[in-house]
A = this chain, B = another copy of it.
Amino acid sequence: MDAAGRILLNEGIGALNTNRIAKVAGVSVGSLYQYFPNKEAVLGALAEREGIELRSKFEGLLRLTEDMPVEQFVDQVIHAMFAMRERNALLIRVADAHSGDPGLLQQRVALAESLRDVVRRLIQRRSPETRPVDADVASFVIVHAIQGQLAALDQGLQPWFMEREELVAELVILVQRYLRPHPEP
Residues of A within 8 A of B (CB): 11-15, 93, 95-96, 98-100, 105, 108-109, 112-113, 134, 136-138, 140-141, 144-149, 151-152, 155-157, 159, 161-162, 166-167, 170-171, 173-174, 177-178, 180-185
Contact check, B177 vs A180: say whether CB atoms are below 8 A apart.
yes
Contact check, A149 vs B148: say whether CB atoms are below 8 A apart.
yes
Contact check, A13 vs B144: say whether CB atoms are below 8 A apart.
no
Find chain B residues with CB under 8 A from A98 CB.
14
Oligomer: number of copies: 4
Query: For residue A181, which residue of chain B has the nearest CB?
Result: B185
Contact check, A137 vs B170: say whether CB atoms are below 8 A apart.
yes
Bound CA span A173–B11, Å = 40
Contact check, B173 vs A112: say whether CB atoms are below 8 A apart.
no
Find chain B residues with CB under 8 A from A174 CB.
141, 145, 174, 178
Min Cβ gap A116→B in Å is 9
